[in-house]
Amino acid sequence: MKNVITFVDNRILKNDHLLYNFESLIDKILQIDSLIFVLLQDQRERINNRNLYCIDANGKLIWQCEDMLANRPPDSLEPPYAHYTNIWLKDDQLWASNYFGTHENRLDINTGKIVESHYMK
């Protein structure tokens, strides 16, 4: 029987059984083999620049993405919030874009680290 991964509110379900419960509402999920990538919705009440997660098909948390602004210069004009608002797969690679649409990042699917970044105008 094929496993069907879905989400409702803040819960990831596998064949309609709870697999993982997040603190916030889920916006989108994607899957590559046994890895499930979870994008949480924007939370206006608190800044969360690390709103992208990976769990496995057994419900184990594999990683939480790194903060894309963690290494920004102190004189940066970007606001301190830049959570992800979209994720997609391209050639089995995980890509994500930020709230302002200024950055497009490729993340390592095994670690959640940014391995490539493009600034978009």
Q: How far apart are CA 43 and CA 36, in angstroms?
A: 21
pLDDT surpassing 90 at residue 87: yes
Please report the pLDDT score of residue 104 as a whole number.
87
Number of neighbours of residue 79 by Cβ within 10 angstroms: 10
DSSP, collapsed to helix, strand or coil, labels residue 118 as: strand
* DSSP secondary structure code for residue 61 in this structure: E
Q: How far apart are CA 100 and CA 20, in angstroms?
A: 29
Per-residue pLDDT tens for 70-79? 666 666 666 6
Please report the pLDDT score of residue 118 as a whole number.
81
**Which structural domains are found in the chain, ordered by start?**
5-68+81-119 (2.40.10.480)
User: Contact, 61 vs 20, CB < 8 A?
Assistant: yes
